[in-house]
Amino acid sequence: MTKSDFCLRLEDFPTNDFGLRKLRQLDPVIRARFIHDPSGMTDWNAALGNTLNLTWLRDPVDRAASQINMISRWTDEEASNEKLRTLRDAAKDGIAAYLSTGFDLGYQNIFNGITAYFQFSDPSARPLWLQSKSAGLNALELRALEIALSNFEKMDFIGIVESFDAHFQHMCAVMGVQPPQSLQAHNVNPAKSRCTDEDRELLLPYVQLDMQIYNRALEKTAELPLVPAPPKAEYLTPPRGYILSGEDYLSGDGWHVCERNGHKISRWTGPGDLSALSLMIDKSDGLFMRLHVADFMHPEQVNALYLMVDGVKTGVNITPINNNGFIVEAWATPDQLDHSTARLDIAIHYGFSQKSKNSGDDRILGLEISEFEVGPLSEYQPDSILNLSRWVY
Protein backbone atom coordinates (compact mmCIF):
# COMPACT_ATOMS: atom_id res chain seq x y z
CA MET A 1 0.00 0.00 0.00
CA THR A 2 2.32 2.66 -1.26
CA LYS A 3 -0.18 5.41 -0.43
CA SER A 4 0.88 4.97 3.21
CA ASP A 5 4.21 6.56 2.40
CA PHE A 6 2.38 9.81 1.76
CA CYS A 7 -0.62 9.66 4.08
CA LEU A 8 -1.24 6.86 6.56
CA ARG A 9 -4.99 6.56 7.12
CA LEU A 10 -5.48 4.80 10.43
CA GLU A 11 -9.09 3.96 9.55
CA ASP A 12 -7.70 1.58 6.91
CA PHE A 13 -5.86 -0.51 9.51
CA PRO A 14 -7.04 -2.80 12.34
CA THR A 15 -7.19 -0.90 15.61
CA ASN A 16 -4.78 -3.24 17.38
CA ASP A 17 -2.06 -2.47 14.84
CA PHE A 18 -1.56 0.96 16.33
CA GLY A 19 -2.50 2.62 19.59
CA LEU A 20 0.59 3.24 21.69
CA ARG A 21 2.10 -0.20 21.01
CA LYS A 22 5.63 0.27 19.69
CA LEU A 23 4.64 3.37 17.75
CA ARG A 24 8.23 4.47 17.31
CA GLN A 25 9.09 1.16 15.63
CA LEU A 26 5.98 0.65 13.49
CA ASP A 27 7.14 1.00 9.92
CA PRO A 28 3.92 2.54 8.49
CA VAL A 29 4.10 5.26 11.13
CA ILE A 30 7.75 6.21 10.78
CA ARG A 31 7.56 6.12 6.99
CA ALA A 32 4.38 8.16 6.51
CA ARG A 33 4.66 11.88 5.98
CA PHE A 34 1.08 12.50 7.10
CA ILE A 35 -1.09 10.51 9.53
CA HIS A 36 -4.87 10.77 9.41
CA ASP A 37 -6.33 9.85 12.81
CA PRO A 38 -10.13 10.31 12.69
CA SER A 39 -10.75 8.72 16.10
CA GLY A 40 -8.43 10.77 18.29
CA MET A 41 -7.06 7.66 19.96
CA THR A 42 -3.43 8.79 20.20
CA ASP A 43 -1.51 11.80 21.44
CA TRP A 44 0.92 11.77 18.53
CA ASN A 45 3.26 14.39 19.92
CA ALA A 46 3.67 12.37 23.10
CA ALA A 47 4.07 9.13 21.13
CA LEU A 48 6.51 10.30 18.45
CA GLY A 49 7.81 13.62 19.71
CA ASN A 50 8.36 15.18 16.28
CA THR A 51 4.90 15.76 14.89
CA LEU A 52 3.11 18.82 13.62
CA ASN A 53 -0.47 18.45 14.89
CA LEU A 54 -3.30 19.90 12.83
CA THR A 55 -7.07 19.64 13.14
CA TRP A 56 -10.23 21.15 11.68
CA LEU A 57 -13.38 21.86 13.69
CA ARG A 58 -16.92 22.25 12.44
CA ASP A 59 -19.79 24.02 14.19
CA PRO A 60 -20.96 21.30 16.64
CA VAL A 61 -24.64 21.91 15.90
CA ASP A 62 -24.13 21.64 12.15
CA ARG A 63 -21.97 18.56 12.73
CA ALA A 64 -24.71 16.86 14.77
CA ALA A 65 -27.36 17.77 12.19
CA SER A 66 -25.15 16.36 9.46
CA GLN A 67 -24.71 13.09 11.37
CA ILE A 68 -28.45 12.73 11.81
CA ASN A 69 -28.92 13.46 8.11
CA MET A 70 -26.41 10.69 7.38
CA ILE A 71 -28.34 8.26 9.60
CA SER A 72 -31.48 9.01 7.60
CA ARG A 73 -29.70 7.61 4.52
CA TRP A 74 -28.63 4.32 6.09
CA THR A 75 -29.26 1.26 3.96
CA ASP A 76 -30.96 -1.82 5.37
CA GLU A 77 -27.53 -3.41 5.67
CA GLU A 78 -26.23 -0.48 7.71
CA ALA A 79 -29.39 -0.36 9.86
CA SER A 80 -28.83 -3.96 10.85
CA ASN A 81 -31.07 -4.22 13.94
CA GLU A 82 -34.36 -2.86 15.23
CA LYS A 83 -32.80 -0.03 17.20
CA LEU A 84 -30.82 1.25 14.22
CA ARG A 85 -33.82 0.97 11.93
CA THR A 86 -35.87 3.00 14.42
CA LEU A 87 -33.16 5.68 14.55
CA ARG A 88 -32.98 5.79 10.75
CA ASP A 89 -36.74 6.07 10.34
CA ALA A 90 -36.93 8.81 12.96
CA ALA A 91 -34.05 10.70 11.32
CA LYS A 92 -35.98 10.65 8.05
CA ASP A 93 -38.74 12.59 9.84
CA GLY A 94 -36.34 15.28 11.01
CA ILE A 95 -34.21 16.24 13.98
CA ALA A 96 -37.12 16.67 16.42
CA ALA A 97 -38.34 13.15 15.65
CA TYR A 98 -34.84 11.73 16.06
CA LEU A 99 -34.35 13.40 19.43
CA SER A 100 -37.69 12.08 20.68
CA THR A 101 -36.90 8.38 20.11
CA GLY A 102 -35.57 7.91 23.63
CA PHE A 103 -32.69 5.70 22.49
CA ASP A 104 -28.98 6.26 23.01
CA LEU A 105 -28.90 9.40 20.92
CA GLY A 106 -25.14 9.62 21.20
CA TYR A 107 -24.78 6.64 18.88
CA GLN A 108 -21.58 6.88 16.81
CA ASN A 109 -20.48 9.87 18.87
CA ILE A 110 -22.95 12.27 17.27
CA PHE A 111 -22.92 14.65 20.21
CA ASN A 112 -19.83 16.13 21.85
CA GLY A 113 -17.61 14.26 19.40
CA ILE A 114 -14.99 17.02 19.50
CA THR A 115 -14.68 16.61 23.26
CA ALA A 116 -14.39 12.84 22.91
CA TYR A 117 -11.75 13.23 20.19
CA PHE A 118 -9.53 15.41 22.34
CA GLN A 119 -9.52 12.91 25.19
CA PHE A 120 -6.66 11.08 23.39
CA SER A 121 -7.87 7.84 25.00
CA ASP A 122 -7.71 9.23 28.52
CA PRO A 123 -9.34 6.39 30.51
CA SER A 124 -10.92 8.71 33.05
CA ALA A 125 -13.11 10.46 30.48
CA ARG A 126 -13.70 8.06 27.62
CA PRO A 127 -17.42 7.56 28.52
CA LEU A 128 -18.14 11.08 27.36
CA TRP A 129 -19.71 10.01 24.12
CA LEU A 130 -22.91 10.89 25.95
CA GLN A 131 -24.70 14.18 25.68
CA SER A 132 -25.43 16.55 28.52
CA LYS A 133 -28.82 18.29 28.57
CA SER A 134 -28.63 19.68 32.09
CA ALA A 135 -28.10 23.35 32.76
CA GLY A 136 -24.77 22.60 34.41
CA LEU A 137 -22.10 20.01 33.82
CA ASN A 138 -21.45 17.10 36.18
CA ALA A 139 -18.02 16.28 37.54
CA LEU A 140 -17.24 13.71 34.82
CA GLU A 141 -18.21 16.11 32.08
CA LEU A 142 -16.19 18.92 33.62
CA ARG A 143 -13.16 16.61 33.82
CA ALA A 144 -13.61 15.61 30.17
CA LEU A 145 -13.84 19.25 29.11
CA GLU A 146 -10.70 20.06 31.09
CA ILE A 147 -8.74 17.25 29.38
CA ALA A 148 -10.09 18.17 25.95
CA LEU A 149 -9.24 21.86 26.29
CA SER A 150 -5.74 21.01 27.53
CA ASN A 151 -5.08 18.79 24.52
CA PHE A 152 -6.73 21.29 22.21
CA GLU A 153 -4.27 23.98 23.30
CA LYS A 154 -1.35 21.74 22.28
CA MET A 155 -2.40 21.70 18.63
CA ASP A 156 -0.07 23.46 16.20
CA PHE A 157 -2.94 24.43 13.92
CA ILE A 158 -6.69 24.72 14.37
CA GLY A 159 -8.86 25.36 11.34
CA ILE A 160 -12.55 26.26 11.23
CA VAL A 161 -14.54 24.54 8.49
CA GLU A 162 -16.82 27.54 8.11
CA SER A 163 -13.72 29.67 7.26
CA PHE A 164 -12.06 26.99 5.17
CA ASP A 165 -10.54 29.08 2.37
CA ALA A 166 -8.71 31.51 4.64
CA HIS A 167 -7.67 28.91 7.19
CA PHE A 168 -6.46 26.49 4.52
CA GLN A 169 -3.94 29.09 3.35
CA HIS A 170 -2.76 29.47 6.92
CA MET A 171 -2.43 25.68 7.36
CA CYS A 172 -0.23 25.43 4.27
CA ALA A 173 1.99 28.19 5.64
CA VAL A 174 2.31 26.40 9.00
CA MET A 175 3.28 23.22 7.17
CA GLY A 176 5.75 25.04 4.96
CA VAL A 177 4.11 23.86 1.71
CA GLN A 178 2.67 25.67 -1.29
CA PRO A 179 -1.15 25.64 -1.51
CA PRO A 180 -2.38 23.53 -4.44
CA GLN A 181 -4.01 25.26 -7.39
CA SER A 182 -7.24 23.31 -6.91
CA LEU A 183 -8.79 21.02 -4.32
CA GLN A 184 -11.08 18.01 -4.61
CA ALA A 185 -14.02 17.82 -2.22
CA HIS A 186 -14.66 14.33 -0.84
CA ASN A 187 -17.52 12.94 1.23
CA VAL A 188 -19.74 15.95 0.51
CA ASN A 189 -23.51 15.65 0.18
CA PRO A 190 -24.60 18.34 -2.29
CA ALA A 191 -28.28 17.86 -1.38
CA LYS A 192 -27.93 18.69 2.32
CA SER A 193 -29.62 21.79 3.70
CA ARG A 194 -28.36 24.07 6.42
CA CYS A 195 -29.52 23.53 9.98
CA THR A 196 -32.64 25.63 10.61
CA ASP A 197 -32.97 27.95 13.60
CA GLU A 198 -35.53 25.58 15.12
CA ASP A 199 -33.21 22.59 14.71
CA ARG A 200 -30.33 24.56 16.15
CA GLU A 201 -32.31 25.39 19.27
CA LEU A 202 -33.18 21.70 19.70
CA LEU A 203 -29.59 20.51 19.27
CA LEU A 204 -27.72 23.08 21.35
CA PRO A 205 -28.40 21.39 24.72
CA TYR A 206 -26.84 18.18 23.39
CA VAL A 207 -23.49 19.74 22.42
CA GLN A 208 -22.65 21.92 25.41
CA LEU A 209 -19.15 20.48 25.78
CA ASP A 210 -18.25 20.81 22.12
CA MET A 211 -19.55 24.37 21.93
CA GLN A 212 -17.06 25.47 24.58
CA ILE A 213 -14.16 24.04 22.58
CA TYR A 214 -15.50 25.40 19.32
CA ASN A 215 -15.93 28.89 20.82
CA ARG A 216 -12.35 28.73 22.10
CA ALA A 217 -11.24 27.79 18.58
CA LEU A 218 -13.10 30.80 17.17
CA GLU A 219 -11.22 33.03 19.63
CA LYS A 220 -7.84 31.54 18.68
CA THR A 221 -8.43 31.85 14.95
CA ALA A 222 -10.02 35.31 14.98
CA GLU A 223 -6.70 37.08 14.40
CA LEU A 224 -4.75 34.57 12.31
CA PRO A 225 -1.99 36.22 10.30
CA LEU A 226 -2.65 36.08 6.59
CA VAL A 227 0.69 34.50 5.64
CA PRO A 228 2.52 33.42 8.82
CA ALA A 229 6.03 32.05 8.90
CA PRO A 230 6.09 28.24 9.04
CA PRO A 231 7.11 27.71 12.70
CA LYS A 232 7.62 23.94 12.52
CA ALA A 233 8.27 23.18 8.87
CA GLU A 234 11.42 21.34 9.89
CA TYR A 235 9.24 18.66 11.51
CA LEU A 236 8.20 17.53 8.04
CA THR A 237 11.77 16.63 7.09
CA PRO A 238 11.88 12.92 6.20
CA PRO A 239 14.05 10.60 8.33
CA ARG A 240 17.67 9.91 7.44
CA GLY A 241 17.41 6.14 7.55
CA TYR A 242 15.50 2.97 8.34
CA ILE A 243 16.10 -0.51 9.66
CA LEU A 244 13.32 -2.87 8.60
CA SER A 245 12.93 -6.46 9.72
CA GLY A 246 10.74 -9.20 8.33
CA GLU A 247 7.92 -8.34 10.73
CA ASP A 248 7.73 -4.70 9.66
CA TYR A 249 5.11 -3.35 7.30
CA LEU A 250 6.58 -3.07 3.79
CA SER A 251 5.17 -0.61 1.29
CA GLY A 252 5.39 -2.24 -2.11
CA ASP A 253 4.49 -5.34 -4.11
CA GLY A 254 6.24 -8.69 -4.34
CA TRP A 255 6.36 -9.78 -0.69
CA HIS A 256 4.94 -12.81 1.07
CA VAL A 257 3.69 -12.59 4.65
CA CYS A 258 6.11 -12.51 7.55
CA GLU A 259 7.22 -15.87 8.93
CA ARG A 260 9.20 -17.00 11.97
CA ASN A 261 11.73 -19.79 12.07
CA GLY A 262 13.27 -19.99 15.52
CA HIS A 263 14.89 -16.62 16.17
CA LYS A 264 14.74 -15.67 12.50
CA ILE A 265 11.95 -13.36 11.33
CA SER A 266 11.82 -12.88 7.59
CA ARG A 267 9.79 -12.42 4.41
CA TRP A 268 10.14 -14.27 1.12
CA THR A 269 9.98 -12.29 -2.07
CA GLY A 270 7.80 -13.50 -4.94
CA PRO A 271 5.90 -14.63 -6.88
CA GLY A 272 7.42 -12.53 -9.68
CA ASP A 273 10.99 -11.57 -10.53
CA LEU A 274 11.24 -8.38 -8.46
CA SER A 275 10.03 -6.91 -5.18
CA ALA A 276 9.37 -3.20 -4.63
CA LEU A 277 9.88 -1.03 -1.57
CA SER A 278 9.09 2.67 -1.19
CA LEU A 279 10.19 4.97 1.63
CA MET A 280 10.15 8.64 2.52
CA ILE A 281 13.80 9.46 3.26
CA ASP A 282 16.41 12.22 3.18
CA LYS A 283 18.43 11.71 -0.02
CA SER A 284 20.72 14.71 0.25
CA ASP A 285 23.91 12.77 1.11
CA GLY A 286 23.26 9.80 -1.15
CA LEU A 287 22.18 6.44 0.26
CA PHE A 288 23.75 3.16 1.25
CA MET A 289 21.54 0.07 1.32
CA ARG A 290 22.14 -3.32 2.90
CA LEU A 291 20.00 -6.46 2.72
CA HIS A 292 20.43 -9.56 4.84
CA VAL A 293 19.33 -12.47 2.64
CA ALA A 294 18.76 -15.56 4.77
CA ASP A 295 18.03 -18.04 1.95
CA PHE A 296 17.17 -18.39 -1.73
CA MET A 297 15.49 -20.94 -3.99
CA HIS A 298 18.13 -21.22 -6.74
CA PRO A 299 21.76 -20.02 -7.12
CA GLU A 300 20.87 -18.25 -10.38
CA GLN A 301 18.67 -15.87 -8.37
CA VAL A 302 21.82 -14.70 -6.57
CA ASN A 303 23.68 -14.30 -9.86
CA ALA A 304 20.81 -12.24 -11.29
CA LEU A 305 20.51 -9.99 -8.25
CA TYR A 306 20.62 -6.21 -8.67
CA LEU A 307 18.79 -3.12 -7.34
CA MET A 308 17.05 -0.28 -9.13
CA VAL A 309 16.98 2.89 -6.99
CA ASP A 310 14.81 5.76 -8.23
CA GLY A 311 14.92 4.11 -11.64
CA VAL A 312 18.74 3.84 -11.75
CA LYS A 313 20.52 0.47 -11.67
CA THR A 314 23.08 0.23 -8.88
CA GLY A 315 26.10 -1.98 -8.47
CA VAL A 316 25.98 -4.56 -5.67
CA ASN A 317 28.50 -6.33 -3.47
CA ILE A 318 27.48 -9.80 -2.25
CA THR A 319 29.25 -11.33 0.75
CA PRO A 320 28.38 -14.86 1.97
CA ILE A 321 27.97 -15.12 5.75
CA ASN A 322 26.66 -18.68 6.37
CA ASN A 323 25.16 -21.67 4.53
CA ASN A 324 22.75 -19.95 2.16
CA GLY A 325 22.86 -16.51 3.74
CA PHE A 326 24.61 -13.46 2.39
CA ILE A 327 24.77 -9.69 2.68
CA VAL A 328 23.88 -7.48 -0.31
CA GLU A 329 25.30 -3.97 -0.30
CA ALA A 330 24.32 -1.27 -2.78
CA TRP A 331 24.71 2.49 -2.93
CA ALA A 332 23.46 5.52 -4.81
CA THR A 333 25.27 8.83 -4.98
CA PRO A 334 23.31 12.09 -4.71
CA ASP A 335 23.42 12.67 -8.47
CA GLN A 336 21.80 9.25 -9.08
CA LEU A 337 18.75 10.02 -6.93
CA ASP A 338 15.53 11.87 -7.77
CA HIS A 339 15.54 14.96 -5.55
CA SER A 340 12.18 16.26 -6.80
CA THR A 341 10.54 14.07 -4.16
CA ALA A 342 11.47 12.62 -0.77
CA ARG A 343 10.08 9.30 -1.90
CA LEU A 344 12.70 6.61 -2.56
CA ASP A 345 11.64 3.78 -4.86
CA ILE A 346 13.65 0.57 -4.67
CA ALA A 347 13.19 -2.51 -6.85
CA ILE A 348 15.02 -5.70 -5.90
CA HIS A 349 15.52 -7.83 -9.04
CA TYR A 350 16.36 -11.53 -8.69
CA GLY A 351 15.51 -12.99 -12.08
CA PHE A 352 12.67 -15.39 -11.26
CA SER A 353 10.73 -17.18 -8.54
CA GLN A 354 9.92 -20.85 -8.24
CA LYS A 355 7.69 -23.17 -6.24
CA SER A 356 8.70 -23.85 -2.65
CA LYS A 357 10.54 -27.12 -2.04
CA ASN A 358 8.59 -27.79 1.15
CA SER A 359 5.71 -30.25 1.03
CA GLY A 360 2.34 -28.54 1.30
CA ASP A 361 3.77 -25.09 0.54
CA ASP A 362 2.42 -23.89 -2.81
CA ARG A 363 4.03 -20.47 -2.70
CA ILE A 364 6.23 -19.19 -5.53
CA LEU A 365 9.37 -17.86 -3.87
CA GLY A 366 12.45 -15.78 -4.64
CA LEU A 367 14.74 -14.61 -1.83
CA GLU A 368 14.22 -14.82 1.93
CA ILE A 369 15.06 -11.40 3.37
CA SER A 370 15.34 -10.91 7.13
CA GLU A 371 16.54 -7.32 7.31
CA PHE A 372 16.89 -4.22 5.18
CA GLU A 373 18.88 -1.16 6.16
CA VAL A 374 19.22 2.18 4.39
CA GLY A 375 21.00 5.32 5.54
CA PRO A 376 23.23 8.21 4.43
CA LEU A 377 26.08 7.15 2.20
CA SER A 378 28.50 9.45 4.04
CA GLU A 379 28.06 7.53 7.30
CA TYR A 380 28.61 4.00 5.99
CA GLN A 381 31.14 1.94 7.98
CA PRO A 382 32.76 -0.77 5.83
CA ASP A 383 33.91 -2.85 8.79
CA SER A 384 30.31 -3.34 9.96
CA ILE A 385 29.34 -5.72 7.18
CA LEU A 386 29.00 -8.88 9.28
CA ASN A 387 26.93 -7.46 12.13
CA LEU A 388 24.71 -4.92 10.33
CA SER A 389 25.69 -2.14 12.70
CA ARG A 390 23.22 0.72 13.01
CA TRP A 391 23.77 4.26 11.91
CA VAL A 392 22.91 7.00 14.38
CA TYR A 393 20.26 9.08 12.64
Burial 147-159 (b: 16+ CB within 10 A, else e): bbeebbeebbbbb
Q: What angle do CA 113, 115, 119 make, to 5 degrees?
A: 115
Q: How far apart are alpha carbons 385 and 288 in whole angstroms?
A: 12
Residue 285: Cβ within 10 Å count: 15
Write the DSSP assignment of 225-249 as a string of letters: -SS---TTGGGGPPPS-EEEETTS-
Q: What is the pTM of this model?
A: 0.56
pLDDT for 143: 84
Per-residue pLDDT of the chain (393 residues; tens, 9 = 90+): 233 345 777 776 655 444 444 554 555 666 667 888 877 767 787 777 778 889 999 999 999 898 888 888 888 888 888 888 888 899 899 999 888 876 655 555 678 888 888 887 665 555 544 444 444 567 777 888 888 999 999 898 999 998 888 888 888 888 777 776 556 555 555 455 567 889 999 999 888 889 999 999 999 888 766 544 444 444 456 778 877 877 777 778 899 988 877 667 889 999 999 999 988 888 998 999 988 899 999 999 999 999 999 999 998 889 888 778 888 989 999 999 999 888 899 999 999 999 998 888 899 999 999 888 888 887 766 544 334 344 433
